[in-house]
Structure 1
Amino acid sequence: MATVIMHNVVSVDGFIADENDDVGPLHDWYFNGDTPIAEGRDQQYDHSGVGSRFKVSRASAEYVRPMWDGIGTIVLGRQLFDLMNGWEGHPPVGDHVVVVSHRPKPEGWHPEASYHFLDDVTAAIDKAKELAGERDVAVNAGDVGGQIFAAGLVDEVAMDVVPVVFGSGKRYFGHIDRQHLLEDPPVVVQGDGVLHLRFKVRR
Structure 2
Amino acid sequence: MGAVILHSVVSVDGFIADENDAVGPLHEWYFAGDTPIIPPPDDQRYDHSGTGSGFRVSSASAGYVREMWESIGTIVMGRTLFDLVNGWEGQPPAGDHVVVVSHRPKPAGWHPEASYHFVDGVPAALAMAKELAGKRTVAVNAGEVGGQALAAGFVDEVAMDVVPVVFGSGKRYFGGIQGQHLLADPHVVIQGEGVLHLKFKVRR
Summarize the Cα distance change of 1:138–1:49 in structure 2 as closer, same or farther, 3 Å threshold: same
Measured in 1, the distance between the counterparts of 2:47 and 2:157 equals 24
Task: Give matches, 1:87-98, under 5 Å.
Answer: 87-98=88-99
- The Cα of 1:192 is off from its aligned counterpart by 0.3
TM-score under structure 2 length normalisation: 0.94
Measured in 2, the distance between the counterparts of 1:154 and 1:134 equals 15
- The Cα of 1:113 is off from its aligned counterpart by 0.8
Amino acid paired to 1:35: T
Amino acid paired to 2:170: G
- Tell me which stretches of 4 or more aligned residues in structure 1 moved more than 2 Å: 46-52
Answer whether contact 2:157 2:200 (CA < 8 A) is retained: yes
Task: Give matches, 1:99-114, under 5 Å.
Answer: 99-114=100-115
Answer whether contact 1:48 1:91 (CA < 8 A) is retained: no
Task: Give matches, 1:83-162, under 5 Å.
Answer: 83-162=84-163
- SS of equivalent to 2:162: strand
Task: Give matches, 1:161-180, under 5 Å.
Answer: 161-180=162-181
Answer whether contact 1:47 1:90 (CA < 8 A) is retained: no
Measured in 2, the distance between the counterparts of 1:168 and 1:100 equals 24
Measured in 1, the distance between the counterparts of 2:184 and 2:45 equals 34
Q: Which residue of 2 aligns with 1:188?
A: 189
Q: Which residue of 2 aligns with 1:36?
A: 36
Task: Give matches, 1:3-82, under 5 Å.
Answer: 3-39=3-39, 48-50=45-47, 53-82=54-83
Answer whether contact 1:142 1:174 (CA < 8 A) is retained: yes
Amino acid paired to 2:6: M
- SS of equivalent to 2:63: helix
Answer whether contact 1:48 1:92 (CA < 8 A) is retained: no
Measured in 1, the distance between the counterparts of 2:189 and 2:38 equals 22
Answer whether contact 1:68 1:94 (CA < 8 A) is retained: yes
Q: Which residue of 1 aligns with 2:203?
A: 202
- SS of equivalent to 2:93: coil
- SS of equivalent to 1:174: coil
Answer whether contact 1:8 1:158 (CA < 8 A) is retained: yes
- The Cα of 1:48 is off from its aligned counterpart by 3.8
Measured in 1, the distance between the counterparts of 2:7 and 2:34 equals 24
Kindly provide the CA deviation profile for residues 73-117 of structure 1, in whole angstroms up to 9, marking residues without a partner as x.
000000000111111111111000000000011111111111111
What are the ranges of 5 or more consecutive residues in structure 2 without an aligned counterpart?
Answer: none
Amino acid paired to 1:185: P
Answer whether contact 1:32 1:57 (CA < 8 A) is retained: yes
- SS of equivalent to 2:129: helix
- SS of equivalent to 1:117: strand
- SS of equivalent to 1:50: coil
Measured in 2, the distance between the counterparts of 1:20 and 1:160 equals 21
